[in-house]
Amino acid sequence: MLTLKQIRGEREKVTSRLAVKGFDAAPVIDRIEILDDRRKAIQTELDDLLRQQNTAAREIGALMGKGLKEEAEAAKANVATLKERSRGLEDELKAVAADLETEIVKLPNLPADIVPAGRTAEDNVVVKLQDDYTAPAEGALPHWELAAKYGIIDFELGVKLTGAGFPVYKGMGAALQRALIAFFLERNAAAGYTEIQPPVLVNEASAWGTGQLPDKEGQMYHATVDNLYLVPTAEVPLTNIWRDAILAEGDFPVCVTAYTPCFRREAGSYGKDVRGLNRLHQFDKVEIVRIEKPENSYAALDGMVAHVESLLIALGLPYRILRLCGGDMSFTSALTYDFEVWSAAQERWLEVSSVSNFESFQSNRLKLRYRDAEGRMQLAHTLNGSSLALPRIVAALLENYQTPDGITIPEPLRPYTKFDIIK
């Protein structure tokens, strides 16, 4: 979340930058300023009451020492009154502080200066297009038909076991999934990311810390009995490892990667754009997360984008990189690059990765700080990226590598699949 210092000290900047995301910040900031002024007034009154209590306590001792019992009892009664008033103010202070936080968390992160204005995905900017590939022959099959033809993904069985959006991978399809996970993890490790195997259930504090709550609670699966949430991405448990942490200069950069199944309701998703693997409620994804000093975070973002690009190049998939406009960015992001791969049979682009810099937005919620060279406490910057999300990668591999004899496996995956064609 934004800091109170940012909101009050840079009101004009906050308002104008959030307008790029299509968010009218002025009414929220008005409420924040009113609540903050009230909080300060209560705190001042509390501090004054505490001083009065301390003074009265010393007077009671002096009066007792002089044998002035009646005056001492009167002073004690006054202290009791002061304490009762203090308790009332403390309760009011807690309520005002809670209301203040409720208002602050309504404000999205500020988009970086290079974020283009715009409302929808149509306004995103293509920063790179790599489309040097040989298209499959005319009449190429979409991946859901290929999956049925070769018996590698069973969507109907998934409906029987759980419901729509929960496919069952079989035989070579399951092996391809496992191969991609291993390939991505090993490439990430070679790039300096430490592999982590985190839980796939997180508590409310973790979901709040990375900004899934309260923004995306409708998309998360909630185990209500234990008040735990199934992860929508490994970003949540990975970043929360450093919740309430104070890092030293020598700890940077923090670079971690993890594979997890991911769970998202995706309520209201219908039509041809969600057929097959295009949009699922459960899917596999490998994630990379970095924690950086503020002055290094955008160079780190560029490095993450280059790394994700190298994975797509290795797989030989046509891709493009987009810089998201303000209206298409997440609540928490300051700058996001999306990667899309070309679906040959569907003749459309499929998103397979988002790589984002959150600057200090998440770390302020997480209380993730570090001591700088002068010993001052500063908020770190957090970044994350899909490296990569598997369902649409699988869809693109099936469609782009289909041949009359079967589906060819890209060379880099063959040491993991142990086969070079699905037929």
Report all structural domains of the chain as residue ranges with CATH numbers, in order of start.
Answer: 4-104 (1.10.287.40), 121-422 (3.30.930.10)
What are 284's two structure tokens?
Answer: 């596999």
What pTM, to 2 d.p., does this model score? 0.92
pLDDT at 274: 79
Tens digits of residue pLDDT in 245-258: 999 999 999 999 99
Reply yes or no on whether the pLDDT at 271 is more than 60.
no
Residues of the chain with pLDDT > 70: what percent?
97
pLDDT in tens, 96-112: 999 999 999 999 999 99
Give the position of tokens 């589906």: 407
Of 59-73, 74-88, 206-220, 271-285, the poorest mean pLDDT is in: 59-73
pLDDT value of residue 244 = 98
pLDDT value of position 217? 79
3-state secondary structure 29-86: HHHHHHHHHHHHHHHHHHHHHHHHHHHHHHHHHHHHHCCCHHHHHHHHHHHHHHHHHH
Q: How does pLDDT run across 208-239, given as a tens digit for each residue?
A: 999 999 877 789 999 999 999 999 999 999 99
Range scoring the smallest mean pLDDT among 191-205, 261-275, 284-298, 376-390 = 261-275
Q: What band does 136 get if pLDDT is binned at 50, 70 and 90?
A: low
Give residue 133's pLDDT band: very low, low, confident or very high (50, 70, 90): low
The span from the CA of 257 to the CA of 366, in Å, is 19
Higher pLDDT, 56 or 173: 173
Query: What confidence score (pLDDT) does residue 169 get?
Result: 98
Lowest mean pLDDT among 174-183, 214-223, 288-297: 214-223
Distance (Å, rounded) from C-alpha 33 to C-alpha 41? 12
In which band, very low, low, confident or very high, does the pLDDT at 63 lie, cut at 50, 70 and 90? confident
134 vs 197 pLDDT, higher one: 197
pLDDT value of residue 156: 97
pLDDT for position 290: 98
Mean pLDDT value of segment 268-282: 78
